[in-house]
Every structure is written in C-alpha cells, then in structure tokens.
Amino acid sequence: MDEYSCFVDWDKMDVTVQSQDAKDLTCTEFQELKQLARQGYWAKNHSLRAKVYHKLISNIPCRTVTPDANVYRDIVMKIVGKRNSSSLPLPEFVDDSLVPTYCLNAEGIGAVRKIILCIANQFPDISFCPALPSVIALLLHYSKDEAECFEQVCRILACNDPSKRLIDQTFLAFESSCMTFGDLVNKYCQAAHKLMVAVSEDVLEVYSDWQRWLFGELPMVYIARVFDVFLVEGYKVLYRVALAILKFFHKVRAGQPMESDSIQQDIRTFVRDIAKSVSPERLLEKAFAIRLFSRKEIQLLQMANEKALQQKGITVKQKSYCFSMFFIVFLRQNVHLAVHAENFKSEIVSVKEMRDIWSWIPERFALCQPLLLFTTSEHGCSLSRFYSHSEGHEPTLLLIKTTAKEVCGAYLSTDWSERRRGGNKLSFFGTGECFVFRLQPEVERYEWVIIKHPELAASGSEPENHASPASSTLSSSSIPSDRLSPFLSARHFNLPSKTASMFMAGSTDSIIIGGGDGQALYLDADLNHGRTSHCNTFNNQPLCSESFQISVLEVWGFRD
C-alpha cells in the first residue's frame, strides 16, 4: 500500500483502485485538466489521485490566515482530549446522523469527527455545512495524516475567490442553492418535476435533499469521480450531477409504484443503490450532456434566491436547521394553503390549476401568495387601466379565458413600466424566465424558445417561419442591471434582433408576449380580442385559437 493508506479499509475498496500503475500529471492548463478530470485520468490510481487533489487544493486562493496542518497538531488534543473519537458529539452545523464512512477503517471514522470539531473551532462563522462530513471522509482517503486532511479541508472552506463557489457554509447559502436547484429542475427535468409535484406536498422539501444525494447517499466510487471534476470546475458540477441523478431516477422508476410513502426516501434509496442502474461514467456523461446555463447566470439566480430568503427573514443568524427548514417549508406550503377555495377566487382557473401554475414559477416567487391586481370583470376592458393596475409589480401572471372556453396565460418576469423605456416606440423587454402556457383544453407550458432550444442562440439563427413580433433589438441598455433576473437578458446570449425579441412588449395600442417553442400572444387595446402566432417547426399544439375573443382576463401579482 502507498503512503495514503492509513485510514482506508482496503477490504471494502475496489481492487482496481490499487492495481493501476502510477502516472505523472504534468499539465496545468484548465481545459486539459478539465478533460482529464471528466475522463477519470487519475481515478484508477489511489496515489495519483491523492497527489492531484493536493495540487488542485493547494492552488485554491484562500484568506491570508488559513489554518494549516500545524494548527491542527496544536489544537486537536485540547479540543478532543482523551475522549473516544468515535463517540464525539458534532457541532450543530452538521447532521450527526449523516456521517458517511466511505470504506474508512475505525481510525479513519474517528478522524472524521475529530477534524470536524477542530474546524468548528477555527471557523466560528460556519452556521450550516451539511456537506462537510462527506468531504472530510473522502479526503482522508488521500491524506497522509489527519493534519494534512484538516489543512486541505480548511483551504476549501477558506476560498476567497468570489467567482469560485465551493461549499455552502450558511443556511442561507444552502437553502438558496436548494431553490436554485428547484429552478434548474423546472427547466431541465420537466418530466421529473411533474412527478415531484404530483406525489409530494412540497417540491422544495424534495429538492432540499439534493446535496444529501451527493454528499451522503452516493457511494464512494461515485462521489470520488464527482469530486475529481468538482475540484477543477467548481460548484456547477454538483448541480449537473444532481440533475442527472433525478433524470435517471425518473427514467428507472417511471410508471412504477412508489417503494415507500415518501418520494424523498425513494430517491435516497435509488441513489444509495445507483450502481444497480448507472455506472459512474454514465452518470457523468449524462450530467455533462445537460445544456446548463453559464456559471455567471447560475450565480445570479443564486443571488436572487438569497435575496428572496433574506426578505422573508431567513438569514445566516438562524440557529437551528430544523426550525429554519420548517420555516421554509411552511412558507412554501403556505402558498398552496393560500391557493384555496376559502381565500382564492378566480373566474378563470380553479384552485388545482393555480397550484399547477405555481409549480412552474421560479422558486423564489413560489414563497409568495397570489394577489389579484386586475380583472376585466371589475376594472373593464381598458389597456390603460391594465397598465395602471399592473405597473409596480414584478413578476406578474396573466390569465385569459376565451369565449370558446380556452384558457391560456403567461408568466411575465418584468414590471410593465419597463415599456416606457422605448418612448412611443414598441420595444421589447423582460427576461428568459418568461413563458406562456395553456390550461384548457389541455395543459402545456411553452418556455422561451432560447431556453428550450439553446442551439438557436449558438447558431444565431431562427427556424423558418418563426415570426418575430417586431424588429426592435433588445440591447444591454434596455434592461436595468439591478433588475437582472436569471436565464437572463439577451446580452448574455449575443442574439440577433429577431430572436432577442421573444419577450414582452406593450404600447397604447397592443400587448405582445413572446413565448417559447414558436408561440406568441397578441392582445388588442380594447382587451376584447386577441390572436396567437404559432410556429410548426417545434411540432407542438397552438397556444389557443389563432384569433379569439376574450371572455375574462386577470392579472395576478405576488404578495409577500
């Protein structure tokens, strides 16, 4: 065995990890490292992986004063003393019931707890870090002693590069990452998301498990492969792998009855036994096949979710995970309770239909309650009154019922007051979070065309017969920077004018809402008539009749 074997129970390890000849890693270029990590270049040799980890972690930019191996040697006896390391109580910021062993021997299992306690001593600002035990247990495999492992973990925790996010250390950061993951599932795993909505009372509670899938339930050989890439590419990799897990779960379990009373428990069981269904290589292959948005856009989404939580009173000062988790779940479920016959009245949609719509909107707004802003039944068919009641609210939800009993609508991410930025000219605004949908005669959601078909953004072209609502260009100056919402403005896609126009626009004469998959909605100034534009290229059904008369129109806001 090599010098990194002191904490490993080799009887539990895959023999191939020990048998490969040692190789040298000489490359330093990011793109080459990225390719080697994804290919598993150092995954088959224990000693090589240890050396690569040490090199990658040593290159992490850290705070000026970051605890090192010598600090550990100085404090460990003072903190641990002569107590049995296997029974040491852990700090509140980790889950004592979820400390993976990852084929560690008895000494290694005890070392995990000792290192956690020493980190708690050196990082008093950590308030919530459920991934920490897993990271420590994994790195013990590739450390010469406890002190070296402690130093490597400290460097990860002390990273001070604002563009390089590694491990969540507060409840605010953790919970916003759960909301961000929920948003990504909503965009990239719609079939799985539909299942979650159908079988769970609260989808955010399910998605709050996403880090547990990786840092807790995933077997050692899988999390090690994920960690190989994580150290090179960063936090975005974790989202990719968790999305891939959910996709495989849905594929394997589609049409089968639940194995327990909880979808959460079913997913955890699937992840623990993932080797029965998916190899580590196939899991990563699936993860990197997802056309995920850029790191910058995901960071903006995370920031938006953090801001929403802060406005709800969820901050780093929360002392108890159980209390905070209850508070978050209560807020999320409170929306569903609010969309109830006793306090929700709509002439267009039922309580169930509104809850279905709520499952589509970004997680940070699903914390809010629906608020009726405008209805033609009460306020009349006046576009100016539509604007006056809708302006000042962001986002809004538009619902339309036609005289033919069709029901459609749109989620509009931006305040209608933005229409004035173009003066008297019809100018487009909004973000890629906008979408249109149909509820009757059947349910269908149409995302923004560039989100669902990102190859159009890359090619700078649009499908034949894809009618653009107008020829105005959405420039970087047309969206104020303080209102940027993720999946973002056109400037992040370098789109030509016709493709970039697929958002929302309004003038004194009409409203235009550009949806996804070639769908667009036009409303006349009298709010009595409307029409749709439908592109057959995407092989979908029209939003509603090409020309229709409006029976009722409602605009809903989001109340804290």
The residue to which tokens 């769908």 are assigned:
519
Please report the pLDDT score of residue 12 as a whole number. 84
**Burial group, residue 18, by CB count within 10 angstroms (0-12, 13-18, 19+):** middle
- Smallest CA-to-CA distance from 181 within 163, 207, 218 is with 207
pTM of this structure:
0.74
pLDDT < 50 stretches in the chain: 317-338, 449-502, 516, 536-539
pLDDT tens per residue across span 209-223: 999 999 999 999 999
pLDDT tens per residue across span 21-50: 656 777 778 888 899 999 988 888 888 999
Please report the pLDDT score of residue 453 as a whole number. 38
What's the 3-state SS for 316-369?
CCCCCHHHHHHHHHHHHHHHHHHCCCCCCCCCCCCHHHHHHHHCCCCHHHHCCE
Please report the pLDDT score of residue 204 as a whole number. 79
Please report the pLDDT score of residue 539 as a whole number. 44
Provide the residue type at 369 as one letter.
Answer: Q
Please report the pLDDT score of residue 265 as a whole number. 92
Please report the pLDDT score of residue 304 as a whole number. 84
> How long, in residues, is the chain?
560
Distance, CA of 71 to CA of 56 (rounded, Å): 21
pLDDT tens per residue across span 350-403: 888 888 888 888 878 877 788 999 999 999 999 999 999 999 999 999 999 999
Please report the pLDDT score of residue 86 as a whole number. 75
Give residues with Cβ within 8 angstroms of 198, minimum separation 6.
Answer: none
Distance, CA of 238 to CA of 292 (rounded, Å): 12
Give residues with Cβ within 8 angstroms of 133, minimum separation 6.
Answer: 90, 94, 95, 98, 99, 100, 112, 116, 215
The residue to which tokens 């090619």 are assigned:
459
Enter the DSSP assignment of 62.
B
Determine contact, residues 306/176, Cβ cutoff 8 Å. Answer: yes
- Smallest CA-to-CA distance from 57 within 147, 133, 158, 125 is with 158
**Residue 235 is encoded by which pair of tokens?**
């936090």
Q: What are the backbone dihedrals phi and psi of residue 551, each rounded to the nearest 5 degrees, phi first?
A: -85, -50
Hey, what domains does the chain have and what are their CATH numbers? 10-15+39-158 (no CATH), 171-332 (1.10.472.80), 351-454+499-559 (no CATH)
Provide the residue type at 548 as one letter.
Answer: F
Distance, CA of 142 to CA of 46 (rounded, Å): 7
Distance, CA of 497 to CA of 474 (rounded, Å): 7
